[in-house]
Amino acid sequence: MTRNEIIEQIHLKKSFLCIGLDTDISKIPKYLLDFEDPVFEFNKRIIDATKDLCIAYKPNIAFYESMGIDGWKSLQKTVEYIPKNIFTIADSKRGDIGNTSKKYAETFFSTYDFDSITVAPYMGVDSITPFLEYPNKWTIVLALTSNNGSNSFQNLKLENGNFLFQEVLETSVKWGTTENMMYVVGATKAKDLKEIRKIIPKHFLLIPGIGAQGGDLDEVIKNGINNDIGVLINSSRGIIYAGNDKDFDSKSRDEAMKIKNSMSKYL
């Protein structure tokens, strides 16, 4: 999916909502366990209920690979079921030496045909380049994350005065373009978005952490949007686990609608 196509969908739907499909079989409604593929059945119903409200879905790969071959099958069916005009993100946070990254890129861009993948940049340019070689695919680089442990490294002060996450931004921005590279910035780091936008004013940002992780939607939008909106704001647990009965999908829709309506005033 191209940048212009993403922007078109944002304005068409008046939304920049990304829904995280962090599907845990132990948390889905119990009646779904009677289906042949409970995880896919859950995802299918979430997608049917929310596809007109969001512009992206983000399966967290750990929830699928932890189930072995059955999980990978559920993942493949899920990606194939998502409408083609909705951006797909493989939230796998891969990052390794070049020949290994090449296989990761092949896995998620060719075998599973995701539009994008999250990657860790700390092994340098040769670990990122294989992902950037795929046309109309996106590499989403971890910059500043929401978890408490992010302070262990990402906020280390360097001799040049930069924090480590700022150095990552300033260095990695030269590797790709605004047409094939995005960055992850956690919603709980909304106050840092103004400084981040000085380094990468035009790049899209994937911003997880709204809802269950405590990120403030309006603060994130105020500090993070650019002329193209330029943000994909993710909510996972707050939407997909809004209900735990046979009406779980309608409860998920209600939660997604609340977020979407909060976004529409910025469009």
- What is the per-residue pLDDT across 185-238, written as a single tens digit (0 to 9) for each? 998 888 899 999 999 999 999 999 876 566 788 899 999 999 999 999 999 999
pTM for the whole thing? Answer: 0.96
What is the spatial distance between Cα 104 and Cα 98, in angstroms, rounded to a whole number? 10
pLDDT tens digits for 64-90?
Answer: 999 999 999 999 999 999 999 999 999
| Mean pLDDT for the chain overall | 94
Residues belonging to the active site: 93
pLDDT, tens digit, 9 for 90 and up, residues 119-133:
999 999 999 999 999
Identify each DSSP E strand in the chain by its residue range.
17-21, 56-59, 87-94, 116-119, 138-144, 181-185, 204-207, 231-235
**Domains, the chain, ranges and CATH?**
3-264 (3.20.20.70)
Per DSSP, 109 falls in state I
142-181, pLDDT tens digit by residue?
A: 999 877 787 778 778 888 888 889 999 999 999 999 999 9
Helices (H), 173-236: 193-199, 217-224
Minimal CA–CA distance to 142: which of 93, 184, 200? 184
- Residue 156's pLDDT is 80
Distance CA 132, CA 130 (A): 6
Strand bridging mode 231-235 / 138-144:
unpaired
Q: Are 130 and 139 in contact (CB under 8 A)?
A: no
